[in-house]
Structure 1
Amino acid sequence: MAKTSKGRMPRLEDVAKVAGVSHQTVSRVVNNHPNVSKATRKKVEAAIAELGYRRNTAARSLVTRRSQTIGVLASELSQYGPANTLLGVEHAARNAGYFVSIAALREVSRDAISDAVGHFMDQAVDGIAVLVPHADTLAVLEQMNLPVPVVAVGSAGSAKVSGAMVDQRAGARLAVEHLVKEGHRQIGHIAGPPDWTDGAERAEGWRAVLREAGLDESLLVEGDWSAGSGYAIGRRLASSLTATAIFVGNDQMALGVLRAFTEAGVRVPDDVSLVGFDDQPEAEYFTPPLTTVRQDFEELGRRCMDIMLDEIESGAAVSSTVVAPALVVRASTAAPAAI
């Protein structure tokens, strides 16, 4: 860190002087307050970079009587979605000047969640973000009546617990509507585990589009999110393929399906179209490049922290926010051969 001409570490007032703004404006920028113009924000950020300013979190904690720490409770971090959701929340928390204490659950149960939350309360965290994408999680959090703000990430929340989520059902609709528009009438779905909120919501989105189009809803198989399960399911499907298109619950399972189809001589998209979900970085390098649904995990993290900070710093009421997904069309989808 650079020192000022007086031989001390730069302070908020030094940044304000270099940027030509008030120290209140610098404080707003540092705390990511929305009521700052882009031009002013750039000036302040340039001054921060020039001086090498870093805010004194310990001093701020003494003034605010807060720990400046957010607890993040997570599970299934070996999976792409939960891992990247955690990264998004951690990045947003750090940008807001908060430390992050992470508790990763080995198993998802009421007792495990309660124990981890109790550990956070012993640390005097200012708030808790919960990244446990299972149907019962919200009910457990509601019953705990915690004295700090809680945001259930991956959930719409409730009257007692705030929520921040990507609209999984809308993402599934984007995928299946794309296939319907291409002319497909036999559209299968390889779903994730039904006890996962994301898996259930994506399956419901698939069903909703098929109902609206008057199409068969029976072509459903459940996997476990892994490429291995996608491969095993793909081998079974390849031997008696009836669908002309398949919506796969995530990109990892889609990768396994592609491998199985290639081995069986089933051509994608000539014989069957394939759509994934997540848009993991490797998806555009699959053979063929995978049409999929993109989730903005960084935006989800920002939205989570916006809600958290509003509740911590101004006592805002419980609320929820929804991030829209986006369809990314690549070479794994096309009109069915009979069209």
Structure 2
Amino acid sequence: MKLASLKEGGRDGTLIVVSRDLQRAVRAADIAPTLQAALDDWSNAAPRLNALSDALNAGTAAGAFALDVDKLAAPLPRAYEFVDGSAYLPHVERVRRARGAEVPKSFYTDPLMYQATSAGFLGPHDDVVVPSEDYGIDLEAEVIVVTDDVPMAVTPEQASAHIQLVGLVNDVSLRGLIPGELAKGFGFLQSKPRSALSPVLVTPDELGEAWQGDKLHLPMRTWLNGAWFGAAECGVDMQFSFAELVAHVAKTRPLTAGTLVGSGTIANEDTSLGASCLAEQRTVETLRDGKPSTPFLKYGDTLRIEITDQAGASIFGAIEQRIAPLAR
């Protein structure tokens, strides 16, 4: 099934079930008012939401209406926790090689992750508002999963069963602020503003054979200002599966239902597939030409992030955003 949230009913939105073709939807308030409420009671809510999804796709759901993506909030407008990884080591390897550094051996056995911003997520068509272009505005096209309640110290095999939803995120980064923050040795803060989620989140069964080994095996398609930017393969070169990432986060703490876990920027050894963030493209250019030629995003620039199935149908809907200045 596919789930989304309307921009109504308060800051957590109103839960809706969306048809497989992303054309129709139906409110699910009699099952759960919000997606977070559904995740809090997932074992009871999920079967009822699935039944409503079946009725919607069969054309028999009462109260169905045409879906307008512009009226969607993020499926989870805010979440208790968002933990992001860097599971695609070709990206890490290239970035470090460009500055003459080696990748620590531990990166190949111990996931690199950080605590991200979860107090609010942008809707799929909301502007990315940044106070200054000088901050080095970048997109990061990633896959995310959403868990139910995860016990502390689960194994990856156990963690797999707690992955309930899959979606996309534009994990916005401000590259000009990152070096100074990391130099302090305490991680990201100002360099990581709010991210945007895909129009819908889907249950893994919606992905069919594309969901194997707790990884999504489809290309991440990105466009900048209407021009193709990349189609990096999500299932290739991912060092750690989502089950391994969830288990890593839960090593010393339980996870609350509604926790988001990100894959990190999709990147492949094969650079001909393009990139999923500007920093990756600029690193490739630096290694090839001695300096980057692709600029970071400016006000008025647009981006599009989407994954389609083998037949070309959009699975999660598209994240389509514009870079905008802060109104003062």
Give the TM-score range, shorter chain.
under 0.3
When normalised by structure 1's length, the TM-score is 0.25
- Taking structure 2 as the reference length, what is the TM-score of the superposition? 0.26
**Greater per-residue helix proportion:** 1
Which is bigger in relative contact order (C-alpha 8 A, separation at least 6)? 2
Give the structure with the larger strand fraction.
2
